[in-house]
Amino acid sequence: MTTSFCDANVSRPKSGAMPRWKRKQLEAASSQTENVTNSSIVSDEETPKKPLGLHNGHGRMNNGGCRFIPNRGAMDIEKSAHTLRHNISSDSSEEGHDSEDEEYKSALNSEVLGVDATSSRILSFKEKIAAPKGDTVNNLKVLYSSSGPSRKTTSSKSVNRLIPSAPSRILDAPDLLDDYYVNLLSWSSTNILAVALAQTVYLWNAGTGDIQELCTLDDDGSDLSISSVSFIQEGGAHLAIGTSAGTTQLWDVQANKQLRSMDGHTDRVGSLSWNRHILSSGGRDGNIVNHDVRVARHNVATLSSHTQEVCGLEWSPDGSTLASGGNDNMLCLWDAGTSSTSRPRFSLTDHQAAVKALAWSPHERNLLATGGGTADRTIKFWNSQTGSLLNSIDTKSQVCALQWNPHEREILSSHGFARNQLCLWKYPTMTKIKDLDGHTARVLHMATSPDGCTVVSAAADETLRFWDVFAPTGTKSKGKRGASEVSSSSTRGRKLNKTMHIR
């Protein structure tokens, strides 16, 4: 059966018609020949040498395929678009370019690739990208700067004047008492500086350099000493002196004689402050006594709120409020009309150590700055009208005294351990402008000259140093002195240091 079947197929008569597969093969061959001859459309290199086969569904390919089915996944559309645009731009620069060929390529580029061939750029934005907010370059420069912001805070570039780093004058002050709770320095409106050394008060004329001994306590074996001095504001002719015996003396500086002695304390008087004709004294007994120096019965009020020594007293510039600081870590604010039975307006307990440094701002009413001792180390700012704490700055060292700059919104602080320096701060940012070094022991007292340009500091190293730190803006004679003037001032200071002592 198998043999007959094969023989039957072989012996089948042939048909005169050409099979369909053979016709398609011939048509494909003729189409290939036409594509090769048409070199204006497709180059010889791009024409395939063999016709692409057609998949028959069984994984094989027939060589006689009738049409081309592209594989989009294997094509690089972006590369083709770039090639077309590159060819168009290069052909357009050639002379004798065929306009019809160019139109054909543009149409082909637009229809096949779906992009506009008139654009010369592959990618373009309709709108420009918005510029970044802020100065990005400068911000990065600040962020990654090697100097850092901390070095800028201690630079004098934050002020527009020259602040000398060295004192303009140094005076010896032997036997200056090393006691944090006393106040031994005062500068009058007549340019006279009073300094208390042990049992004696000396007057130094800042204009002439003359030194005068005002008074000396009688040495009766009771170990008396001067514990506080304070000049009256108006005229500067009267000086109040507090003693370790608890008395308060009033002296006429011009006549060089004692006017009166006032009592009211049972222990030493460590702080004094004037409000026109009212002299307030603070004692180790914790009391504050207001003396009216015009009348015989001078004691007009005794204020009792502190439980330990009153080491700081300061009347406000308008005379409405008295600030008192004590060794009990308390700050009290008193009204001017307070009687002996009245309580303070506010009793503030934010400090963690003795409050000695007190300074009222000459620029803002009701603004008070206070400084704490070793266990506190902060400068605090208060609104005396509301009693609210405005700001607190940790200075990292004991705060002994504070002085406001009368020309600028700045404050100067003096410190103890560990550097014994003076620090100038910018208010209200409290950025440190400059450190003034030179003292070898804690700087206990400070006072400002009548013109508000020079600050004198007294330290436990028994020296007085004068700093030209508060020179007003634009003053060349004080803030920016010439080389010859600085040289003469330094020479004069060295000479006084060698030949003159406050004794």
Q: What is the pLDDT of residue 78?
A: 72
- Return d(Cα 419, Cα 414) in angstroms, integer: 10
pLDDT tens for residues 468-478?
999 775 554 44
In a domain, 41, yes or no: no
In a domain, 417, yes or no: yes
Domain containing 377 — which CATH number? 2.130.10.10
Per the model's pLDDT, the better-predicted residue between 128 and 442 turns out to be: 442
- Return d(Cα 481, Cα 389) in angstroms, integer: 40
In a domain, 340, yes or no: yes
In a domain, 268, yes or no: yes
* Mean pLDDT within 458-464: 97
The CA–CA distances, whole Å, from 115 to 12, 99, 328 equal 59, 20, 86
What's the domain count of the chain? 1
Q: What is the pLDDT of residue 73?
A: 62
Buried b (16+ CB within 10 A) or exposed e, 484-500: eeeeebeeebeeeeeee
Residue 20 CB contacts under 8 Å (≥ 6 apart), including other chains: none
In a domain, 375, yes or no: yes
- Return d(Cα 372, Cα 334) in angstroms, integer: 20
* Mean pLDDT within 356-367: 97
DSSP conformational letter for 501: B
Q: Distance from CA of residue 253 to its chain's centroid?
A: 45
Per the model's pLDDT, the better-predicted residue between 471 and 414 turns out to be: 414
Largest CA distance in the chain: 162
Which stretch of DSSP H or E encloses residue 109? helix 99-113
The string of DSSP codes covering 137-184 is HHHHHHHT-SSHHHHHHTSGGGSSS---SS-SEEEE-TT----TT-B-
* Mean pLDDT within 424-451: 96
In a domain, 162, yes or no: no
Q: 253: how many CB neighbours lie within 10 A of its CB? A: 21
In a domain, 35, yes or no: no
Q: Residue 438: is its pLDDT beyond 60?
A: yes
pLDDT tens for residues 326-350?
999 999 999 998 888 889 999 999 9
Q: What is the pLDDT of residue 443?
A: 98
What percentage of the chain exceeds 90 in pLDDT? 58
In a domain, 441, yes or no: yes
Residue 425 belongs to domain spanning: 171-499
